[in-house]
Structure 1
Amino acid sequence: MPEVISNTSCLILLSKIRQLDLLNTLYNSIIITDTVKTEFGENIPDFIKIKNPNQEFSVKSLEQILDSGEASTIALALETKNSLVILDDLKARKIAKNLGLKITGTLGILAKAKKLGIIDDLEKQINELQRKGIWISESVINEIRKIDKSTN
């Protein structure tokens, strides 16, 4: 199983809809950096572990084009042999993909949880995120709906 490394947005979004434990259910443990912990600003559950990248140069280089949390997350993933990176920001996702990293996002996690029967209603979770003020593009929602329908 890959080491799952998360950026801040996923933690914030899942916390807002009271689904942070999905990460524990799906992956057993999650790794975040100190920067992500600070950005999250809440107490982290026991299944979330802290680890920082060894190469500060990688972080500083990535910070030229990404925020600190995304930069530290991607830098750590680059140092980890078998990783899955949770990123929601489009620019960060493109960079991670170009660097050869395997990625998913918050909606991908919700879709996986639905596919595995952990949550019943994916549409409800998406609506809840939107009610909490999270903007999600229609094209992304439509893609998730297609995945959801194919698993029913």
Structure 2
Amino acid sequence: MENDKIVIIDARCFIVLEKIGALPLLNKLYLQVVTTTEIAAEYKEDLPTWITIQNVINRDLIKTFQNIVDLGESSAIALANEINHSFIVIDDLQARKFASSLGLNVKGTIGVLLEAKQNEVIQTIKPYLDKIQKTNFRISDYLIVKILESAGEI
């Protein structure tokens, strides 16, 4: 379990987890859940008190990263550059590739759900995938099969 880690969460992850009733999983899985003021504003809902909202110190880094990814992702990636021993949860493929190219540890919302299953925080991942499919978050049928296989559910 990554419960000794500080994780930085992008807005899309918050949105998806909230839509499927799984936002509390972050608090159960990780020591500290952090986001930026930009992401909190993008999320537009009140975040739980266990989520830390932190400003990025190097504002120029955000501006530089915005040439590649959007403001929220830029702020998350910039913050991940400032916090030691962290990883970042981003779902946008371009942003994930960019963050990885900077040497950051990256996972997506599905990776969080898989980790929850692997650490017995949830019993099965399939009900969460079923709920996700009812949102505007798209997962291919092929990927669903791979996720269920990884989770030992098929």
Q: TM-score range by the shorter chain?
A: over 0.9
The match for 1:109 is 112
Task: Tell whether the 8 Å contact from 1:39 to 1:69 is kept in structure 2 after alignment.
Answer: yes
Off by >2 Å, runs of 4+ in structure 1: 137-143
Q: 5+ residue gaps in structure 1?
A: none
**Offset at residue 127 of structure 1 (A):** 1.0
In structure 2, C-alpha distance between the alignment counterparts of 1:69 and 1:96, rounded to whole Å: 13
Match of 2:78 among 49, 72, 75: 75
Percent of aligned pairs with the same amino acid: 36
> Which shows bigger deviation, 114-123 or 134-143?
134-143
The answer on 1:11 being equivalent to 2:8 is no
Task: Tell whether the 8 Å contact from 1:28 to 1:47 is kept in structure 2 after alignment.
Answer: no
**Offset at residue 138 of structure 1 (A):** 3.4
The answer on 1:63 being equivalent to 2:72 is no
In structure 1, C-alpha distance between the alignment counterparts of 2:146 and 2:60, rounded to whole Å: 36
AA in 1 matched with 2:7: V
Task: Tell whether the 8 Å contact from 2:6 to 2:31 is kept in structure 1 after alignment.
Answer: no
> Which shows bigger deviation, 137-146 or 82-91?
137-146
The match for 2:145 is 142
> Secondary structure of the residue that 1:149 maps to in structure 2?
coil
> Secondary structure of the residue that 2:103 maps to in structure 1?
coil
> Secondary structure of the residue that 1:24 maps to in structure 2?
helix
Task: Tell whether the 8 Å contact from 1:59 to 1:72 is kept in structure 2 after alignment.
Answer: yes
**Offset at residue 116 of structure 1 (A):** 1.5
Q: 5+ residue gaps in structure 2?
A: none
The match for 1:21 is 24
